[in-house]
Amino acid sequence: MAVLFDGLPVIQPGCVWLVGAGPGDPGLLTLHAAHALSQADVIVHDALVNEACLTLAKPTAILEFAGKRGGKPSPKQRDISLRLVELAQQGHRVLRLKGGDPFVFGRGGEEALMLVEHNIPFRIVPGITAGIGGLAYAGIPVTHRDVNHAVTFLTGHDSSGLVPDRVDWAAIAQGSPVIVMYMAMKHIGQITRRLMEAGRSPDEPLAFVCNATTSDQQVAISSLGQAEADSVRLSLQPPAVVVVGEVVGLRKTLDWLNR
């Protein structure tokens, strides 16, 4: 393991690394992420970080939970960001470990801006985002040249918890052959209706990928018109990625986990 880390940068005292842990499978950690875990004095981690990843922390590391889960009491984002500043100012080597990629619907930009405001040195370590890695584990490629040449990634709710009004649903419905949605379970009925009202067919394939890349992964195939009913019937629960488009049909052949 030490050989793998030779030549990689180290976390300096008073510095914060914003690191993506990937969608769940600890094997999808990058070398930078694994190296950071072995060095950090304090690890501030999200709810979606697989606990197996945390076993790579050094024995003296302090683990601080800062998970934000919809509908449950959660720390405020500003408080989390200020906590990173506080820890760095105390001279700690700080690792902010986030599920997926910190800059893909992960609030990493907000935290980085707070660090800049307080003159805290930082590093960004990208991770595999669930909208790509999670779908790959479900046998669903986000692009396939015989199906689509564009894909849109969007979030199913804004900072208020509502369906984002600033999303041009009509433009996305008409212009993006594949749509990948994060945090969309709560408002799946509203979202699918908006897409259909903008012209998408109710028969278009849709897939739910819950707990992607973990041993609890669940994949449910539906359609745009039946998605809301199927999510209730099957008792599907977040965390989940929802994908709409003809690439969903490729799962029949590419479901490599169950071959």
Q: Is 46 a catalytic residue?
A: yes
Closest to 123 measured CA to CA, from 90, 89, 97: 97
Contact of 222 with 206, CB cutoff 8 Å: yes
Q: How far is residue 139 CA from its own chain's centroid? A: 18
Closest to 244 measured CA to CA, from 189, 186, 203: 203
- Listed in sequence order, the residues at least 6 apart from 256 whose beta carbon sits closer than 8 Å to its beta carbon are 139
Angstrom CA distances, 216 to 26, 66, 137, 191, 213, stand at 14, 22, 12, 26, 8
Closest to 5 measured CA to CA, from 28, 26, 33, 27: 33
Q: Is 165 a catalytic residue?
A: no
Q: Quick one: the chain helix, strand, coil %, rounded to 5?
A: 35, 20, 45
Q: Is 203 a catalytic residue?
A: no
Catalytic residue among 25, 98, 101, 183: 183
- Listed in sequence order, the residues at least 6 apart from 135 whose beta carbon sits closer than 8 Å to its beta carbon are 141, 142, 180, 207, 209, 212, 241, 243
What is the C-alpha end-to-end distance of the chain, expressed in Å? 32
Catalytic residue among 25, 41, 46, 101: 46
Contact of 85 with 114, CB cutoff 8 Å: yes
Hey, which residues are catalytic here? 46, 68, 183
